[in-house]
Amino acid sequence: MGENNLYYQSTRGSKKRFLSTEAIIKGIADDGGLFVPMVIPRINKDLHKLKGLDYKRLAYLVMKDFFTDYKEDELISCIKQAYDKKFDTKVVAPLIKKRGAYFLELYHGPTLAFKDMALSILPHLLRKAAQKLNLKQEIVILTATSGDTGKAALEGFANLPGTKIIVFFPQEGVSEIQKRQMLTQKGENTYVIGIRGNFDDAQRGVKQIFEDPIFNEKMEEKNFIFSSANSINIGRLIPQIVYYFYAYLNLLERGEIKVGEKINITVPTGNFGNILAAYYAKSMGLPLHKLICASNENKVLADFFNTGIYDKRRELVRTISPSMDILVSSNLERWLWDISEGKTEQVSELMNSLDKKGFYQVTPKMKNKLEGFSGGFAREEEARNSIKEVFQESGYLIDPHTAVGYVVYKKYVNETQDQTKTVIVATASPFKFTTSVMESISKEYKKYDDFELIEKMANLSQLPIPPGMKDLKNKPILHHIICDKSEMKSKITEILSY
């Protein structure tokens, strides 16, 4: 193994080192932990000199130090295939100034959500990794989704040779448009399964399958190997770092900030991956001040940052921001590893406590490291009011998840009087949540369904209907399987037995 390679290890007990290709293929470590880079590389370029770089060149600059066992031409090829005409704006991730903040629009990909930013490249990284490792098995992508990952993963892996993708989603826990996007997905290798349960049930089921050595062995005998498209896969997480650098350089280029000036980032998040990518960007040397973690009424993360106690012992609340209706934030485990200074036994104990008792409390030393974050949450009514306020005051439409970010950003500024310039991550297009958005603006829209409101929204906002939304209602439903959470394994066996 080369001296200049960056290695990955599990957040839990195992000290075995893995190259990025190996970690991307495996998705999750054998001991149930998540792969973490053993060191975070520093950005070795003067930020001033990076101004004006397009998204693809910046992506290469950031990713090359994490994916060191990919050759330069291999990584460049993956990036070029990912960030192409499937994005409907030339700049890939526009930064829009409204209401005193900057909205980083990460929803211009084919499925209208921030997941496209990483799931456009993961299939190419995975396929290249399989070639490099001479894998002969078919790769089966197992994914749990709270609404957006599923469609973005299906879009990325559809008809990709050597792969199958199976997506589990909560049957009653996503928006009608999110559901229709998944159920109409074409592709000979795509399978979509609704489960009777919530996202945490789906996520737990998928993790248990990864951690079942007997089941995995049986599948390998049939020439299948499992991997993941969730942000538990390091190949999904690392590409998300890029857009935080991109936002900063955009502000620099516009003259909104000076080199070295710190900015805040507000991220609406349930699974913690999107804000962890910002933390990794900060660790690489990007000048970030506060990372503002915005929760909806499932405020388990907000409570954690305020108390140091992570407690999932509560009822899951179904909200208008369904992609954040999550009580177990899987990516937080990576951050625990970091703030425990790589003490895998400590992380393992905390995760066991969460599993067995439903909560854990970090040590006082770890709690001191929570200070770089601020946790807040938005009630349903606050999110609805902010959608209306932003639109009425500026003519700008935001989706319910971005609205949660906006509410928490405003609360943070009011409480702290911190005047640091702030980027709010706009995680999804308002077109994905037409009912919630339009009814927040006016009750007159209550008489229309999600699909009728697509045109109403386009007229109101003067925005074109995104290609992925056109005629969505009339597309044929191609996936019909619904199962109990206890049947996930048997459904996978059925699919792979054909």
Residue 115 known to be catalytic? yes
Residue 13 confidence (pLDDT): 80
Of 5, 6, 1, 11, nearest in space to 36 by CA: 11
- Does residue 1 register a pLDDT over 70? no
> Across all residues in the chain, what is the average pLDDT?
95
Neighbours of 208 (CB within 10 A): 13
Run of H or E residues at 391: helix 380-394
Q: Could you give the percent of the chain with pLDDT greater than 70? A: 99
pLDDT single digits (tens) 92-102: 999 999 999 99
3, pLDDT greater than 70? no
Question: What is the pLDDT confidence band of residue 44, given thresholds at 50, 70 and 90?
Answer: confident
pLDDT in tens, 261-305: 999 999 999 999 999 999 999 999 999 999 999 999 999 999 999
What mean pLDDT do residues 337-359 have?
97
Q: Which of 26, 115, 179, 312 is catalytic?
A: 115
What does pTM read for this prediction?
0.95
Alpha carbons 297 and 154: distance in angstroms, whole number: 29
- How far is 266 from 422, CA to CA, in rounded Å? 7
CA atoms within 13 A on the CB side of 117: 32
- Look at residue 4 in the predicted model and tell me its pLDDT: 86
pLDDT tens, position by position, 448-473: 999 999 999 999 999 999 988 988 99
Cβ distance 25 to 126 under 8 Å? yes
**Strand residue runs (E) in 285-394:** 288-295, 309-311, 359-361, 373-377
**What CA–CA distance (Å, rounded) separates 362 from 495?**
41
Assigned token pair, 67: 């994916």
Q: What tens digit of pLDDT does each residue of 217-256 get?
A: 999 999 999 999 988 999 999 999 999 999 999 999 999 9
pLDDT greater than 70 at residue 443:
yes
| DSSP secondary structure letters along 430-456 | GGGGHHHHHHHH-GGGGGS-TTHHHHH
Enumerate domains of the chain plus CATH numbers: 95-113+235-463 (3.40.50.1100)
The predicted pLDDT at position 15 comes to: 81
Specify burial of residue 279 (Cβ count, 10 A radius: 0-12, 13-18, 19+).
buried
Q: Assign 198 a pLDDT band (cuts: 50, 70, 90).
A: very high
Does residue 2 have a pLDDT over 60?
Answer: no
In terms of Cα–Cα distance, which of 84, 50, 41, 430 is closest to 241? 41
pLDDT per position as a tens digit, 303-312: 999 999 999 9
63-91: pLDDT as tens digits:
999 999 999 999 999 999 999 999 999 89
**Rounded mean pLDDT, 357-381:** 96
pLDDT of 14 reads: 75
| pLDDT, average across residues 176-187 | 96
